[in-house]
Structure 1
Amino acid sequence: MANILDPMDLKQIITLHLDGTSNRRIGSILGISRNTVNTYMQLFTASEYSLEELLNFDSAKLSELFSYHTTVDTARHNELMLYFERINKARHHPGFTFLFHYQQYFGQAQDAYSYTQFLEHYRRKYPKEKGSMKLEHLAGEEMFIDFAGKKLHIVDKQTGELIEVEVFVAILPCSQYTYVRACMSQTRGDLISSCVHALQFYGGVPKAIVSDNLKSAVNRASKYEADINRSFKDLACHYNCAINPTRGYSPQDKALVENAVHLAYQRIYYPLRETTFFSLEDLNNEIGKLLERYNELIFKRKESSRIELFQTVERQYLKALPDTPYELKDFRRAKVQKMGYVYFSPDKSYYSVPYRFIGKETQIHYTQSRIEVFHNHQRIAMHQRNLAKGAYITNTDHLSSTHKFYSDWNPEFFRQKAAPHGQHVLACVEKILVAQDYPEIGYKRALGVIQLYRSYGSQRLDQACKRALDTDACSYIRIKNILKNNMDKVPLYEVDLQNANDHIPFHSNIRGASAYE
């Protein structure tokens, strides 16, 4: 079945093409057919965008523009290679003929090669004379990486235990400029961290990183098309380069880094044999000093050192480093909840996304400092990571108008809402807010008082609040009853009563207060 190229692979094709790499070489580096590369380059050229513009597009846009199915299908070729491995064991048996085995192969294969192609593929796989050759390495083309087979040690100060540490080695093959660093393991995090340190050490980026088929770099090893893990691909996209794993059981593909490992044993391991280190930092500091001397050693035949060759020849061909170093990314899937947040399980916290994505499936990309939420390859939210468990991290731009109104609730918000309706309304709201131990209750009651202006107007509301303040009756229900019963219009003080028209007529039988003195 045909495969679909990942958007990351499309960007790598464009990057390598802009670097002047031929289509055949691009296919070799990325492990895809040259015809596939030719087809995609024709599609890129025929589009209305330049290659530089296509390189800046996000993954969703590239997938939409170039959803072409590639012709990469290695099942037929792999079937033939497996058959060759079986028949080659009988190669020297008396009576062996290629025609006999071709007829057997033709009878069992679903899509068999012709007899001519059968012989051609066999001769390519098993040439009569297998020799070695001197490979010419272009400046800035590749960076070989590997882990040394032998380990160094640090000592735990508390227990005195010897802790084994791995040693990462990188080399630029043209100048043979070498980088060595100790790390705690060969896991994905340590591998990527070591690659980042190596690129910063070189001060530039080659066109491709050539790695071994270790599990932290490759999900599925293959002699023809390895499946590179997502984090390693993401590293390549960040640094605008390609990943090219070597063939399995083919150390000659990266012979220079294998040799660099052996030289590291001589130049770094041996001088450190009698030194005790209590931390990885101290060990790497000492490795750095020995590495500097090693790179300054003069080649006997070239009459120059590794550092000189790097500075004069290779450095100018490296691409510039991005503005920020790469941070290791991990991935989680999450569904947007009804309240507009995604649940981030590693920290047990919640991050907001635009409310229109409620109910959608998303993918969370996260580093030590950043959280990014994607939907259909499109980033819909980005937050600074908060390590507090159970925290709700909110971007107010993500909220709907209703949610945004409630998220703004605080004492100052209600003061600003009350002030336009009069000083007594403001004073009454402030008294309501202070009276409640739980602020949410006070917010609701203050909002209820302010909303009464819609039915009775700001002037009557202010008078009602004045009466409520004078009688110490500042509550939503009492103010509402004052307005409902028109009590805001009835005078309250004795002076007001004297000025009002007395409705009881004067009579001599009616006794006043003087009768009781």
Structure 2
Amino acid sequence: MITVDEKEQIRRAHYLEGKSIRQIQRETGHHRETIRKALEDGEVPRYTRQEPRPCPVLDPVKPLIQQWLDEDEARPPKQRHTAKRIHERLTTEYHFTGAASTVRRYVGQLRRQRRTQVFIPLDYPPGHIAQVDFGQAQVVIAGQRLTAYLFCLRLGYSRQPFVTALPTQAQEAFFAGHVRAFDFLGGVPRVLVYDNLKAAVQRILEGHDREEQATFVAFRSHYLFESRFCTPHQAHEKGLVEGLVGYARRNWLTPPPECSSWEALNDYLLEKCRAEGSRRLHGMACTIGEALALEQPHLLPLPPRSYPCCVVQPVQANGFGLVTFQTNRYSVPADHVHEPLWLHAFVDRIEISNGQQVLAVHPRCYGRERDILNPLHYLRLLEQRPGAWEQAKPIREWQQRWPAVYDRYLAALRERLPMAQATREFVRILRLHEDYAEGLIAQALEQALAAHCYSADGVKQLLLRLVEPGPLPPLDPKTLAHLAIGPVIWPDVAQFDRLLSDLAGGGR
């Protein structure tokens, strides 16, 4: 191959000095075809191999390496062949004598060819499409490090992102993320694109056909959007939202935020989503917020009521007044233990009903094999069985967090009344929580101690004075003195024996 300087000499000799190709051949010794190519093209000469270089050691095993890499496509990513493992298998199983670097070079060449893909630039009409994905991040809630599942949605036209954190990625959380996103956007995108997550897809069929979960179809029907699902292992089909998961982790959740509750964390994320409205992305003529304002009129309207994002299942309380959901047990009022009940599991709470009214509401527990007890559910039983007071688990848990005045008032009752009677009277006071807030009851108990009033009826009267509007005459402690309860004198049942003896003897 001639150099660029030799090519220049040939071209000058022919075009400037008028020499023929034959004369240039005699003077330079180059072949006539080489001279003709130099006259046609004055660029720097490039060497092009006509045939691939033979690899006598590697060529016999190339089909085998390609077969192994093809089979790896159906395996988990962490159990696929590395170049090192391929070289080890070739050496031990097929007596390969080539170097490991030779195998690494060829495997890298094959993998680069497999990764090379060409994509088509896409443009979305306003309000038409949004993409959805789930991600994970570490957060600190009430001092405890937890895994948060990030529901991420991004609109196609305006690129407006929405991110909310959830304690689970179960179906009820999947639906709740949608509802929060729709409320934030002020409408519903006409098409939502998903991967094949279990909350929506029951079974993958041929092509883009899916057997969808019945509850997901009901949710979709409520909001009237259309769903589309990506080809398995082709995450680029929803590339808009794939980048949002990492963006939120790097920019909003690094270092892990410390929040008092899930609500506080989501308020923080909501502020970050709103702040994105001031950004102008590459290739956009306006900011995200301005584009969202143009897109919102094209979204589907929100329905009059939100979809109930919960799992519903029938339950039956056991002998301790507890129903079980996902290994955890939740209390119900003792009066309804023998009724058929329904449990509604929301993301943040558990509701238990009898089909006519909600009987109990508990914060949802994501631990395992724990009892979530509402002490109010057991007060009627304790009023009947005061002897169980000291060992009652709901009361022992409640005592750790109730106001200190409760303990002082109970001690004052026990100084003046027999143990069982004092316990019953205090249980009657605790039952006031069914209608009044704890702060008001604590305030009424402070006043009761100051007025030397030791009865549930007196405490209730003090409560009524606290909640009723309008000025009232000052309280005279003497007016409450008659409400104090003294020891109960039980009747002498021996009198009935004497009466029966008299009747048997004919007396009157």
Q: TM-score normalised to the size of structure 2?
A: 0.40
